[in-house]
Amino acid sequence: MSQGGSNKKVSNSLLALSSAAIFAVYSAGYSRTQSAANRFAAADGRRPPIPIARASEPVVRITASPAPVASESKPEVALRRERPVSAQPAPAKTDPPPSVPTTVETPAPTTPAAELPPVIPEPKVEVPAVVAPPVVAPAPPPPAAPAAPAHPVWKDGTYTGWGYSRHGDIQAAVVIEDNRIKSSTIITCNTRYDCSRIDDIIQQPVKRQSPDVDNVSGATQSADAYYYAVVEALAKAK
């Protein structure tokens, strides 16, 4: 048998079982609710509504009076309307307030005032508004120039000094003329390495007019020794 035929057979079987189950549930519910439906059908008789009179409308009763015996004319029906008696008590009678005599005063005749001359309005003079000149804030004063560092006073002459380091010592000679460093040289080099490594910083004290010199990569100890030698020489020049 093919796979499609088996699938169709299973679907038909499931549809039949589902229909049988729904029918069984419906039959059980109908048998349980049949007796209650019969009772509601027996008690379905409705009573006619009771007329309720409105409180605002008067109740009108029509009564027929009996016809007189002696009269041979056709009996006449007399209609009489009975209105409900209001339960509210009648308002009590009050005496009218006593009349108070009033007197009317007639105003005294007034004499017309003397005719005044017409008032002539004064002409309006428009005064032009005075516009005040704008207030200009004063310009801030220029910043003061930084004070020049005090130049040390050196005596003319040639002065020597020693500088020390872990790799050896250096002796420098400084020449002072007119309170200025004229020259600066190394006269003794006792360092482990040759002092030619610091040739670029030897003339810096002359350019800067101070013992400050740059550090030299690979010769830091020699540069420090030269710096301390120039410092000691300038200290002797004061």
Domain ranges of the chain: 157-236
pLDDT one-digit tens code per residue, 147-170: 655 667 899 999 999 999 999 999
- Rounded Cα gap, residues 230 and 220, in angstroms: 16
Please count the residues of the chain. 238
pLDDT one-digit tens code per residue, 204-238: 999 999 999 999 998 999 999 999 999 999 999 98
* Opening angle at CA 74, ends 69 and 79, nearest 5: 90
The pLDDT value recorded for residue 30 is 75
Q: By the 8 A CB rule, do 154 and 179 touch?
A: yes
Residue that wins the pLDDT comparison between 131 and 50: 131
Q: Which residue has the tokens 């029509």?
A: 62
Q: Which of 23-27, 28-32, 130-134, 149-153 has the lowest mean pLDDT?
A: 149-153
The pLDDT value recorded for residue 107 is 59
pLDDT one-digit tens code per residue, 42-87: 655 554 555 554 545 555 555 555 555 444 444 444 444 555 545 5
Residue 216's nearest CA partner among 153, 175, 179, 167 is 167
Residue 62 tokens, joined: 């029509």
> C-alpha dihedral over 90, 92, 93, 94, to 10 degrees?
-150
| pLDDT band at residue 27 under the 50/70/90 scheme | confident
pLDDT > 90 fraction of the chain, expressed in percent and rounded: 33
Residue 117 tokens, joined: 């001359």
Average pLDDT over residues 174-195: 94
